Structure 1
Amino acid sequence: MHITRRTFLTGAASLPMLAALPRPSLAEIRIGEATLTTVSDGHLVLPADFIFGPMPQDQLDPVLRDLGVDPAGPLKPECNLTLYRDGSNTVLFDAGSGPDFMPTAGKILDGLEAVGLTPEDITHVVFTHAHPDHIWGVLDDFDDPLFVNAIHMMGRAEWDYWWNPETVNTIGAARTTFAVGARRRMEAIEGSVAMFDDGQEILPGIAAVASHGHTPGHMSFEIRNGSEAAMVLGDAIGNHHVAFRKPGWHSGSDQDAEMAAETRRSLFDRLTAERMRLVGFHLPGGGIGRADHFDDGFIFLPGDA
């Protein structure tokens, strides 16, 4: 499998382009006195084998068809940016794709406008990881930092991985542009970066949870106020179909497929045991919902049920 940014863009350009989603503010819940909202950055257009390539094809089709997913693709996952507001901090989890990754994504300005905000209102940008659809949006059309008043926060292991000059040589040809693009954007925000480690409370009520595998230092975040909590997952659980139904299957989207599968199983155990709400970057309906057991896997229940 050889997927590059050029492949993505070529594939996306051959399909009818969608305008910004009609509901840029997609979903919202309360966590105590704070509000958790998802806003749209648009959607991606991906070849099916980018995710499904390593999976057992004879078992894959029934799972996908049961959920109304075309095994041949293309896949068009939503990009849900999570916005957390507690009256003091206005925190954006991930920055989206920006103007340079894919024409169907990079719509964060529309999403923020829909909830009455501008980039200048964001106090913190917290990264789950540094793939293009999560970090390229830190720069605007002129390659200047977009969130000029924000502290940018990233897990130390993730920062170190993408900052390492050897990453571009070891990540593999399919993701070379990912490494180059991440490093360029990290250089642009270096002066406003704070790093953190697993288990650290990075802001009041927000704790980092290691969820490595999709990338070497991928982080999720537990947001808690008293007995109310939600988990911002990023791409640790990256879709509503095979990631839920068959969490142990390896996905082509993960950089360490075995570790990512272990992470998914661990997260599902916790999410279901605690009945914790979740927010997934690429999950449908705005990405907010819960996980529940289904046969030998799980199912995504959108909304606040």
Structure 2
Amino acid sequence: MELTRRHALAGAAGIAAAPLLPFTPASAAAPVADKQAPSFYRYKVGDIQVTVVSDGRNTFPLEDSFITNAKKEEVNAALEKAFLPRDVFTIYFAPLVINTGGKLVVIDTGNGPVAKVNSKNANGLFAENMAAAGFNPKAVDTVVISHFHTDHVNGLLAADGTPAFPNAEVLVPATEWKFWMDDGEMSRAPAGRMQGLFKNNRNIFEAGLKKKVTPYEWGKEVVPGLLAVETVGHTPGHTSYVLSSGSGKVFIQSDVTNNPNPFATNPGWHAFFDQDGDVAEKTRRRIYDMVVAERLQVQGFHYPFPGLGNVVKDGSGYRVVPAPWNPTI
């Protein structure tokens, strides 16, 4: 029906002549939520289904020593450029659950149940988010570990100290296992963080896990479709993966970078947690040049959730372009 000027004026006059209705406040307000919904995200690589499961995040004050070869003001400028707050830094954590069709595989395990308590539910959330995604830890066939930092191995144990994945074989990089289980290396470790890592790794793997551990080599499939790739520097045995099925392929980069802002945009910056900063930088540039050239999608453990995107060259550094959210699998 066509709305004429006469109809419009008549309607306006009727509204003006109508008595004013009493104001009634709305009484259907919902209670204010105090937590996020469980955080997981699924996508497919060929016939393989990937579920990214958030372990939460850690936000901490930015110290001068956080990046060993850049001044704090330079780091703050890079954070501001990325619309991130100054003087604090946030690290995200995202293990993976991979359903190959024949096996249920977990890649890295997050910060663990002790961190969940100590962080007041900011991280250590892998177990509860994995359960919310519909996975039973007893059904996991294989756990693949990329390297032996606490945010990757501490979730191997449940809150009571027993194996969190009781029926799973635990696959670890052979070079990483050799380094952290070497008594001589432990005796030479600097006091503080490195000594703490040795002690933590011994506690984790001696808690009923040693018989479940199988070292693996680079350049071979650790499970069908998952190729182990050497990406050392962050640790001596740090490992990434190429996940392939059919025409689908994703590079699972583990800790080649931490949060891409600022470590992809400034690939020459060395974080204090890189065991060999020079080697880690060479690896970062080599790997990112490769994924740019091959236009590979990248899954980042420390990227903002859900951590899937593409890498493009951007000046002297790189930029991560997040993959668009897909409501279907």
TM-score if structure 2 supplies the norm length? 0.82
Distance in 2 between the 1:28 and 1:240 partners?
A: 21
2:238 alignment partner in structure 1: 218
Of 221-230 and 41-50, deviating more is: 41-50
Equivalent of 2:187 in 158, 161, 169: 169
Residue 139 (structure 1) aligned with residue 150 (structure 2): no
Distance in 1 between the 2:44 and 2:108 partners?
A: 20
Distance in 2 between the 1:258 and 1:296 partners?
A: 17
1:12 alignment partner in structure 2: none
Distance in 1 between the 2:151 and 2:255 partners?
A: 10
Residue 47 (structure 1) shift: 3.6
Counterpart code for 1:151: E
SS, match of residue 254 in structure 1: coil
1:33 alignment partner in structure 2: 47
Cα 1:100/1:54, change in 2 over 3 Å: farther
Question: Gaps spanning 5+ residues in structure 1: where?
Answer: 1-18
In the TM superposition, what are the counterparts of 1:224-243 in structure 2 within 5 Å?
224-243=244-263
In the TM superposition, what are the counterparts of 1:1-305 in structure 2 within 5 Å?
21-25=36-40, 27-49=41-63, 51-57=66-72, 59-73=74-88, 75-101=89-115, 102-103=118-119, 104-172=122-190, 173-188=192-207, 189-304=209-324
Of 64-73 and 209-218, deviating more is: 64-73
Cα 1:174/1:47, change in 2 over 3 Å: farther
Distance in 1 between the 2:184 and 2:86 partners?
A: 36
Cα 1:167/1:190, change in 2 over 3 Å: same
Q: Give runs of ≥4 in structure 1 deviating > 4 Å.
A: none
> 1:56-104: CA deviations, max 9, x gaps?
445433322110223411x232210111112111111111111224422
Counterpart code for 1:80: A
Distance in 2 between the 1:175 and 1:45 partners?
A: 21
RMSD, aligned CA: 1.8
Tell whether the 8 Å contact from 2:106 to 2:142 is kept in structure 1 after alignment. yes
Residue 238 (structure 1) shift: 1.2
Distance in 1 between the 2:169 and 2:324 partners?
A: 30
2:20 alignment partner in structure 1: none
Tell whether the 8 Å contact from 1:158 to 1:217 is kept in structure 2 after alignment. yes
Distance in 1 between the 2:299 and 2:189 partners?
A: 28
SS, match of residue 212 in structure 1: coil
Counterpart code for 1:218: H
Cα 1:239/1:191, change in 2 over 3 Å: same
Distance in 2 between the 1:21 and 1:272 partners?
A: 34
Could you say which structure has the greater relative contact order, defined with CA pairs below 8 angstroms and 6 or more residues apart? 1
Distance in 2 between the 1:168 and 1:184 partners?
A: 13
2:31 alignment partner in structure 1: none
Counterpart code for 1:254: D
How many residues in Structure 1 have an aligned counterpart in Structure 2? 285
Distance in 1 between the 2:35 and 2:241 partners?
A: 27
TM-score if structure 1 supplies the norm length? 0.88
Counterpart code for 2:202: R
Identity of aligned residues (%): 27
SS, match of residue 221 in structure 1: strand
For the pair shown, which has the larger CA radius of gyration, 1 or 2? 2
